[in-house]
Amino acid sequence: MTAWSVYGGALSNQGSMKAVVATAYGPPEQYTVAEVPVPRPGPGQIQVRIAAAAINPADIVLPSGRFGDAVHLDFPHIPGNDFAGTVTEIGAGVTAYRIGDEVFGLAIPRVLRAMAGKRPSVSTGSLAEYAVVEADTPLVAHRPAGLPVEDAAALATAGLTARAVVQTANIQPGERVLVVGATGGVGTALIPLLAAAKTHVIATATDADADTLRHLGAAEIIEYREPGYPAGIDVAINAVLPGDGLSGLAAALRPAGRLLTITFPAPTLESIGRDDVDLHVVLDMDAELGGMREVGEAAMRGELRATIGRRYRLEQGPQACADFANLHTTGKLLITI
Ligand SMILES: NC(=O)c1ccc[n+]([C@@H]2O[C@H](COP(=O)([O-])OP(=O)(O)OC[C@H]3O[C@@H](n4cnc5c(N)ncnc54)[C@H](OP(=O)(O)O)[C@@H]3O)[C@@H](O)[C@H]2O)c1
């Protein structure tokens, strides 16, 4: 019979590993690095020795307890969705991977399994030396040989989301596209994709980030601390503002323009104050618009590019999470292991 550890993986006879852990609800300043059992793969799962992991807002928001009764975490909880690494053990029934394969992907915390749709990849947490993930989902794929591990980890959530947004927007060459939140993980992945689609990209940034965003393909930069969006925008993409605070952004759209947003709460035509706008909330956890294989292919074509703002070692993981919460970020914060 399989015994299950408190953090969701089978108890290990492979010894222990280092992991970033939250031991109770609270801010990332309370995370520590602890020795925990190495998780073992169950049926349909693979064990991955993590080489690089990237931090996302969920790694801070879930352990914060902000979701209250909607999300119940078991402690110790290991944060971390995005990963790249090497397959070290195969669960029963897995045929797509072998020990030694290089893989990368997006594995959502097990606690969100019920919210994850039809084919989630759930994880024991990637801010650790090892993680177990579901194998048979489009959210995990072989890492292309030409894609560095750090870039693969940095592009998992950000690349998948950026691709989903651009496909949903049905972008046309020459369109003026405004990206709000362009300095973030998703934003920096969006800009090269939009530039590759031959659009005119207008990006929000501080002065310090302007050159980075121009290098990624932005044609114009607007200072985000003094928002004054240009008028006549064809497509506006929100990658940071709360979904119920988008009326100012919507006002910048031309008649019948498109507004795409990836944050919550989901806006309505009423809340954005425009009834002529094509409004989309993009969330593609089932990877219906393309999964990790397509992210890898787009990266190899140069359409997706990883922007890594800061690098940390696993021992610095709690600091990395605190920096993500408290400091200005440009691109992804990455933990190498
Ligand atoms: N729907 C989906 O599938 C999906 C997928 C991934 C992420 N998300 C959500 O999308 C959001 C962005 O994720 P992310 O990983 O890109 O986050 P992130 O890396 O924290 O990026 C946010 C960026 O926006 C900047 N910013 C803050 N306030 C701004 C403002 N008023 N105007 C313009 N820029 C501003 C931030 O700068 P500072 O650091 O200076 O604040 C930061 O550079 C999060 O809410 C996340 O939960 C949704």
Mean of pLDDT values over 87-103: 97
* Tens digit of each residue's pLDDT (9 = 90 or more) over 206-217: 899 999 999 999
For the ranges 7-16, 24-33, 315-324, the lowest mean pLDDT is seen at: 7-16
Structure tokens at 104: 């990368």
Q: What is the pLDDT of residue 4?
A: 31
Q: What is the pLDDT of residues 277-318, one digit of tens each?
A: 999 999 988 899 999 999 999 999 999 999 999 999 999 999
- Per-residue pLDDT, 69: 74
**Any ligand 1 atom below 6 A from CB of 179:** no
161 Cβ inside 6 Å of ligand 1 = yes
Q: CA angle, 324 as apex, 111 and 161 as ends, to 5°? A: 60
Rounded to an integer, what distance in angstroms lies between the CA atom of residue 200 and that of residue 207? 19
User: Is residue 94 pLDDT above 90, yes or no?
Assistant: yes
> What is the rounded CA–CA span in Å between residue 283 and residue 91?
29
pLDDT > 50? residue 9: no
Q: What CA–CA distance (Å, rounded) separates 261 from 29?
A: 30
Determine the distance separating the centroid of ligand 1 and the alpha carbon of 186, expressed in angstroms: 7
Q: Per-residue pLDDT averaged across 185-194, rounded? A: 98
Nearest residue (by CA) to ligand 1, atom 39, is: 328
Give residue 237's pLDDT: 98
CA of 44 to the centre of ligand 1 (A): 33
Q: How far is the CA of 67 from the centre of ligand 1 (A)?
A: 18
Classify each residue of 245-266 as buried b or exposed e, where b means 16 or more C-beta atoms within 10 Å of its C-beta: ebeebbebbbeebbbbbbbeee
The arithmetic mean of pLDDT across residues 203-207, rounded, is 94
Structure tokens at 230: 């240009």
Ligand 1 binding pocket includes 180 (Cβ within 6 Å): yes
Q: What is the pLDDT of residue 118?
A: 56
Q: Among 8-17, 52-61, 243-252, 320-329, which is the least confidently predicted range?
A: 8-17
Q: Which of 81-90, 119-128, 171-180, 217-226 has the lowest mean pLDDT?
A: 119-128
What amino acid is encoded at 94 in this protein? V
Percent of the chain with pLDDT over 70: 93
pLDDT at 97 over 70: yes
Express each pLDDT in 134-161 by its tens digit.
998 999 999 999 999 999 999 999 999 9
Mutate to test the pocket of ligand 1, among 165, 186, 241 (most ligand atoms within 8 A of CB): 186
CA of 75 to the centre of ligand 1 (A): 27
- 181 CA from centroid of ligand 1 (Å): 5
Bridge partners of residue 131, in order along the sequence: 48
Quote the percentage of the chain above a pLDDT of 90.
83
In the prediction, which pLDDT does 114 show? 63
The pLDDT of residue 115: 62
**Is 10 a residue whose pLDDT tops 70?**
no
pLDDT category at 6 given cuts 50, 70, 90 is: very low
- pLDDT (tens digit, 9 = 90+) per residue, 217-259? 999 999 987 768 999 999 999 999 999 999 999 999 999 999 9
The burial class, CB within 10 Å (0-12 / 13-18 / 19+), for 297 is: middle
48 lines ligand 1 (CB under 6 A): no
Quote the radius of gyration of the chain (alpha carbons, Å).
Answer: 20
pLDDT of residue 58: 92
State whether residue 261 is helix, strand or coil.
Answer: strand
**Top mutation candidate among 183, 226, 324 for ligand 1, by most atoms within 8 Å of CB:** 183
Q: Residue 145 carries which side chain, given as an amino acid letter?
A: A
pLDDT of residue 8: 43
CA dist 68 and 240 (Å) reads: 22
Q: What is the DSSP string of 185-212?
A: HHHHHHHHHHHHTT-EEEEEE-GGGHHH
Ligand 1 atom index nearest CA of 188: 16
Nearest residue by C-alpha to atom 26 in ligand 1: 181
Taken in order of first residue, the domains within the chain and their CATH numbers are 16-143+307-336 (3.90.180.10), 161-281 (3.40.50.720)
**DSSP structure class, residue 39:** P
Instruction: Output the average pLDDT for the chain.
Output: 92
